[in-house]
Amino acid sequence: MKIHEYQAKALFWEWGIPVPRGGVAATPEEARGIAEGLAGPVVVKAQIHAGGRGKGGGVKAAATPEKAYEAARQILGMQLITHQTGPEGKRVSRVLVEAASVIDRELYLSLLVDRSRGKECVVFLASEAGGMEIEQVAGESPEKIVRCAVHPAVGFSPFQARKLAVGLGLSAAQRDPFAEILRNLYRLFLEKDGSLLEINPLAVTRAGDFLALDAKLTFDDDGLYRHPEILALHDPAEEELLEVLAGDASVNYIKLAGNVGCMVNGAGLAMTTMDLIKMAGGEPANFLDVGGSASPERIEKAFRIIAADPNVRCILINIFGGVLRCDRVSAGLIQAATHSSMDLPMVVRLQGTHRDEGRRMLEASGLRFTVADGLYEAAEKAVALLGG
């Protein structure tokens, strides 16, 4: 789960990581009020879950409260497009107004979980090329990136802080405050089950102090149950609407770019089905696992979520009936098709418990569907339907 910059900065503040003073505003009047309180030049920043806001016109400097009002008026309500939002952009409903800083250097700092075999630990990445995308730095001048893996049993050590400080060319006087920031970031990351934390840029002010000017923080979804205060920061407006609906229906759904909708039980079978669709020359529109004990109601919800994607031109239903019986799947599909006026063609592959009963129900329903027995046969039939 991602959170907004202003929420991440509030956490930073709480954990002793220096951030600019500021506040969040939903209207230009509120933005002006915050700027008045800060009594000096400010920066007005769009709050969306995507980077590249600066280049996209979502970050504006304002010398006076009146200019902050004007900047907020321009940014609020805009459909901000950055390289991370996709072509449709994201609607801005809040801005962060914070004291502008006089920056001497811009550094890059992040923490992530390295899952590769034999590593499996938290890693610090730092670079003197802050303000730039780290992917670009990695491509053009990888020698500018300093890495430091933290052994989970040993924890973050002072020598690692020194290594990173030297790699960034920090002065002797800056090393202790820098080490303090690293220690606090590591504690925050571990305590709250972070999966990615990025500060780009970590500014060095003219006075030589550090200040996190940007903050991106992502949490491990599987750890959220331990942190209700983090879960409370969830912003459903930032997510794919269909994925939110799927979450409510307890269905594992990930929207993809293709046009063959998939309904499958079991994550492994769902992945295999997607592979087979691609092998047959099609593109899956989604990953969807209805789970092992789905009721007809849940099948109906899953079906509606798939059909609500405007790109979907046919649906492949691949169910291996075990605990989830084929007749209950058919009941759900019939329920869904009669409750909605959906008339997309379907390919149905039912195998396992109560298969014959499931098929009979579908045949008697008058729905538009094609039966398949084999896995690959089902994928081929679905792709063939796209041509017709």
Between 103 and 142, how does the x/- string for binding to ligand GDP read (CB under 6 A)?
Answer: x--x------------------------x-----------
Q: Does 68 interact with ligand GDP (rule: CB under 6 A)?
A: no
Q: Does 101 interact with ligand GDP (rule: CB under 6 A)?
A: yes
Quote the tokens at residue 282. Answer: 């099609």
Give the interface segment with ligand GDP, choosing from 10-18, 53-61, 144-152, 292-300 (CB under 6 A).
53-61
Q: How far is the CB of 194 from Mn ion (least distance, A)?
A: 17
Give the interface segment with ligand GDP, choosing from 98-106, 247-255, 282-290, 326-334 (CB under 6 A).
98-106
Q: State the amino acid at position 231 in one-letter form.
A: L
128 classed as catalytic: no
Q: With respect to ligand GDP, which residue has the nearer C-beta, 64 or 295?
A: 64
Of residues 176-235, which lie at the interface with Mn ion (CB under 5 A)? 200, 214
Task: Give the CA-trace dihedral at 98, 101, 103, 108, to 10 degrees.
Answer: -30
Candidate list 5, 198, 238, 380, residue with the active-site label: 198
Q: How far is the CB of 112 from ligand GDP (least distance, A)?
A: 17
Nearest-10 crossing angle of helices 172-191, 158-167: 120
Residues 6+ apart with CB under 8 A from 207: none
Indicate if the alpha-carbon torsion angle 344, 347, 349, 350 is positive or negative. Answer: positive
Q: How far is the CB of 51 from Mn ion (least distance, A)?
A: 6
Q: With respect to ligand GDP, which residue has the nearer C-beta, 95 or 372?
A: 95
Q: Does 214 interact with ligand GDP (rule: CB under 6 A)?
A: yes
Give the interface segment with ligand GDP, choosing from 95-103, 157-165, 222-230, 315-323 (CB under 6 A).
95-103
C-beta of residue 143 within 8 angstroms of C-beta of residue 241: no
158: Cα within 13 Å, side-chain hemisphere: 3
Return the residue of 2, 9, 53, 325 that touches ligand GDP, per CB under 6 A. Answer: 53
Written as one string, the DSSP assignment of 63-84 is SSHHHHHHHHHHHTT-EE--TT
Choose the contact partner of 85 out of Mn ion, ligand GDP, none; CB within 5 to 8 A by kind: none
Choose the contact partner of 269 out of ligand GDP, Mn ion, none; CB within 5 to 8 A by kind: none
Q: With respect to ligand GDP, which residue has the nearer C-beta, 182 or 199?
A: 199
Report DSSP state, residue 266.
S
Return the residue of 4, 7, 11, 51 that touches ligand GDP, per CB under 6 A. Answer: 51
Q: How far is the CB of 186 from Mn ion (least distance, A)?
A: 21
Query: How many chain residues are in contact with ligand GDP, going by CB under 6 A?
Result: 17
Lateral strand order in the sheet of 22-25: 22-25, 95-99, 42-46, 59-62
Alpha helix locations (H) across the chain? 5-14, 28-38, 53-56, 65-75, 134-140, 158-167, 172-191, 228-231, 241-248, 267-279, 296-308, 326-339, 355-365, 375-387
216 CB neighbour count, 10 Å cutoff: 18
Query: How many chain residues are in contact with Mn ion, going by CB under 5 A?
Result: 2
Q: Does 351 interact with ligand GDP (rule: CB under 6 A)?
A: no
Q: How far is the CB of 233 from ligand GDP (least distance, A)?
A: 18
Q: How far is the CB of 200 from Mn ion (least distance, A)?
A: 4
Written as one string, the DSSP assignment of 289-343 is E--TT--HHHHHHHHHHHHHSTT--EEEEEEEESSS-HHHHHHHHHHHHHHS---
Quote the tokens at residue 117. Answer: 């075999």
Question: How large is the C-alpha radius of gyration of the chain?
Answer: 26
Q: How far is the CB of 99 from Mn ion (least distance, A)?
A: 17
Q: With respect to ligand GDP, which residue has the nearer C-beta, 30 or 106?
A: 106
Residue nearest to ligand GDP (CB): 54
Candidate list 108, 253, 300, 380, residue with the active-site label: 108
380 classed as catalytic: no
C-beta of residue 80 within 8 angstroms of C-beta of residue 57: yes
Peptide bond before 296: cis, by omega within 30 degrees of 0?
Answer: no
Q: Does 127 interact with Mn ion (rule: CB under 5 A)?
A: no
Task: Give the CA-trace dihedral at 358, 359, 360, 364, to 10 degrees.
Answer: 110
Q: With respect to Mn ion, which residue has the nearer C-beta, 37 or 131?
A: 131
> Could you give the residue numbers annotated as active site?
108, 198
Q: Can you give the binding site for ligand GDP, defined by CB under 6 A?
A: 20, 43, 45, 51-54, 59, 100-101, 103, 106, 131, 200-201, 213-214
